[in-house]
Amino acid sequence: MAKSVKRKDIQDFAIAVVAILLLGYISSFVFFRIDLTSENRYTLSSITKQTLSELPDLVHVTVYLDGDLPIGFKRMRRSLNENLEEFHVYGKRKFQYQFVNPSASPNQKNRDDFYRDLYNKGLEPTNVQERDPKGGSTQRIIFPGAIVSYRDKVVAINLLKNNQTLTSDENINLSIQAFEYEIIKAIKSLTQEEKPKLAFIHGHGELDELETGDIARELSSQFEVHRAILGGEVGGLESYSVVIVAGPTESIPEADKLVIDQYIMNGGRVIWFIDAVNVSIDSLSRGSTTLAFPNTHNLDDMLFRYGVRVNPTLIQDLQCAVIPINTGLAGQDTRFSPVPWVYYPLFSAPSTHPITRNLNLIYSRFASTIDTVGGNSTVTKKVLLQTSDNSRLLNVPLFISLKQIEQSPLEREFNRKRMPIAVLLEGKFESPFKNRVTKSFNNGNPFQFKEQGIFTQMIVVADADIIRNDVNRRSDGAYISPLGFDKFTNQTFGNKEFIVNMVNYLSDDTGLMSLRSRELKLRLLDRKKLIAERFKWQVINMTVPSVLMVVFALIWIFVRKRRYSR
């Protein structure tokens, strides 16, 4: 009896081994992956799979997030490693990656040189302050970024999101959500055979090459960036994927307006940065007072026909940036202190659209509001930027004085909420030149006028300072500051990412921007509850597994004893 039982056990074991080996052999010919998470955390999008499977040559990603890291960055590294493993599955031998510890060298000079090299390549360091067991604290430099290389080209990716309104855990989670988008965007920009073209319009007092230098440098990794003078030539913009009109201060002639209009009618995409009010910051800094008056850019009729009106008003907002003010007493040394300035609003970006999802606050100066108008049912409108819940409007002309800082703003006067600042328009637009004589345009040359456009998109932003970077002019030259960087608080706002997202959205024909809509649920522990119930859970974790093991062992002994005693 015992021998037959033993023989049967051996047969069952042999069958199980053979079945496992057979299943493993069959599965080697079949590729499949199962994601059991509710938000499909480990499932790549179709555009990602296609991009990786069609790589023409080797792409290598070097991640500088390794070594002894704080808890949050360890979680970030683990998630990034999981993403890159998935990338390698679909990219196979044409996608390679590695993690590097930038602080590995024991030599301080070598570490500093390595840090400097990473910074020059475009990676931004993060200082992390940690407490030691003795009650002190130490600061460490971490580079939460990666360098993507393809053939002889490289691009730097800063992976850490730094939204000042969110906690560190929330910022880490936003960073994890953006991994797939950021890496695939970099790969597509490196592997594309021919870059699409982008044009900044010039000739009407728009921001110059220095004032848009930082964003042009950022966009140059994905586009051929040009400066275009229209000259009234219809069709001169046909080769550009996106056109940017950045802060015209002079009246744009009708012939140039027609050039832009016909570009739109034929499917062209435009981003308008319009200052409805002129305010001289230089006059304000020199004389403490300046006059704000309407800007005569001659675009009101054109934008109105497309579906928006940029109002000649000024916004004041309690959610604002700071300016330096001399707080030293008369006769004493000059002492500048940062003071909130309600004319420098910080705009919130709704998280419901791929362009504005997970963006930091947007820095602006002397901004206006936008109204949506018109009855064109084929055009949809989406607000991309808005004021806070504590804002108000001022009509122009008016005098603006720095002495207003001495008066504390009354909160009851800031009773306007969420006024639109930037609007996305999508649809088939109607030309403002419809029913007008156009024979004299295009420098007298014949052209085919189109009064109803095909489907396209445009974005209107009621402040040109959102795309303007500061320029420091010295005797040895002019130096460009990073767009969105506030030198008085050392904060970097979301201006650059906002503009890059707008351009990518308008030029996206592959669905890449849909990756920005991905959301991973942030499951954080309740810290208060964790501290209050810490001892209880420690006891449970220490005793319950041991007790369960003893119980299972006793049951197993009892079952075997009954089985073989027969």
Question: Of all residues in the chain, what percent are helix, strand and coil, respectively (each to 5)?
Answer: 35, 25, 40
What pLDDT score was predicted for residue 371? 94
Strand partners, 198: 225, 242
CATH code, residues 195-516: 3.40.50.880
Kindly give, in sequence order, each residue whose CB lies less than 8 Å from that of residue 526, ignoring residues fewer than 6 positions away.
Answer: none
Distance (Å, whole) CA 52 – CA 174: 23
Distance (Å, whole) CA 477 – CA 415: 45
Distance (Å, whole) CA 492 – CA 276: 26
What pLDDT score was predicted for residue 424? 96
pLDDT tens track, the chain, 566 positions: 556 666 777 777 788 888 888 877 776 655 556 655 655 666 778 888 888 998 999 999 999 988 888 888 888 899 899 889 989 988 889 999 999 999 888 888 898 899 899 988 888 888 876 665 555 566 778 888 999 999 888 989 988 887 776 777 778 888 888 888 889 989 988 888 888 999 999 999 999 999 999 999 999 988 999 999 999 999 999 999 999 999 999 999 999 999 999 999 999 999 999 999 998 887 777 767 888 999 999 999 999 999 999 999 999 999 999 888 766 565 566 667 788 899 999 998 888 888 988 888 999 999 999 999 987 889 999 999 999 999 999 999 999 888 888 777 888 889 999 999 999 999 999 999 998 888 888 888 888 999 999 999 999 999 999 999 998 888 787 889 889 888 888 888 999 999 999 999 999 766 777 777 666 555 556 667 767 787 888 888 888 888 888 888 888 888 887 777 76
What pLDDT score was predicted for residue 435? 87
Q: Render 94-159 in DSSP notation, one character per residue.
A: GEEEEE--TT--S-HHHHHHHHHHHHHHTPPPEEEEEE-TTS-EEEEEE--EEEEEETTEEEEEE-
Closest by Cα among 228, 309, 301 to 276: 309
What pLDDT score was predicted for residue 458? 96
Upper half-sphere CA count for residue 518 (Cβ side, 13 Å): 26
Closest by Cα among 217, 420, 447, 154 to 311: 420
CB atoms within 10 A of CB 321: 22
Closest by Cα among 422, 425, 424 to 463: 422
CB atoms within 10 A of CB 322: 15
Are 186 and 150 a contacting pair, CB within 8 Å?
no
**88 in helix, strand or coil?**
helix
What pLDDT score was predicted for residue 359? 86
Distance (Å, whole) CA 547 – CA 554: 11
Read off the amino acid at residue 109: K
Report how far Cα 26 is from the mean position of its chain's Cα atoms.
44
Distance (Å, whole) CA 155 – CA 163: 23
Q: Which CATH number fits domain 46-190: 3.40.30, 3.30.2010, 3.30.420, 1.10.3120?
A: 3.40.30
**499 in helix, strand or coil?**
helix
Read off the amino acid at residue 50: Q
Question: Can you give the pTM of this predicted structure?
Answer: 0.80
Give the single-character DSSP code of 206: -
Exposure letters 435-457 (e unless 16+ CB within 10 A, then b): eeebeebbeeeeeebbeebeebb
Q: Render 369-380 in DSSP notation, one character per residue.
A: -EEE----TT-E
Report how far Cα 399 is from the mean position of its chain's Cα atoms.
36
Sign for the CA dihedral angle at 511, 515, 517, 518 comes to positive
Kindly give, in sequence order, each residue whose CB lies less than 8 Å from that of residue 566, ignoring residues fewer than 6 positions away.
Answer: none
First to last CA, the chain: 10
